[in-house]
Copies of this chain bind each other. A is one copy, B any other.
Amino acid sequence: MSGDISLKILSKSLGNMVLVRLRNGKMLRGLLQGYDQHMNIVLDDADEIVDENNANKLGTIVVRGDNIIMISPS
């Protein structure tokens, strides 16, 4: 098994920009400040991406992991 790779990817992304796709169809972007084994995450300077040219500023956010579909380093 290679289970810890999810957390390794997140670990390597600490301090970097990540994209987060939520179950409600929304997309977030922000600097990954932390995460845990439930994929609860903390983002700094987070935006909700509306479209290519628009984003809502959210500041620092704590996102509950069970709302997350996927996270990608960007």
Interface residues, chain A, CB within 8 Å of chain B?
1-11, 14, 22-25, 33-37, 39-42, 46, 58-74
Contact = CB atoms under 8 A, between A and B. Distances in A.
Contacts of A22: 69
State the 5 A-B residue pairs at the shortest beta-carbon distance, nearest first. Answer: A5-B34, A3-B36, A2-B34, A61-B72, A63-B70
A42 B6 contact: yes
Chain A contact residues, majority secondary structure? mixed
Nearest to A3: B36
A43 to B, nearest CB: 9
19 contacts: A1-B37, A2-B33, A2-B36, A3-B34, A4-B36, A5-B36, A5-B42, A6-B34, A6-B36, A6-B62, A9-B42, A22-B69, A24-B25, A39-B64, A60-B72, A62-B71, A63-B69, A64-B70, A67-B70
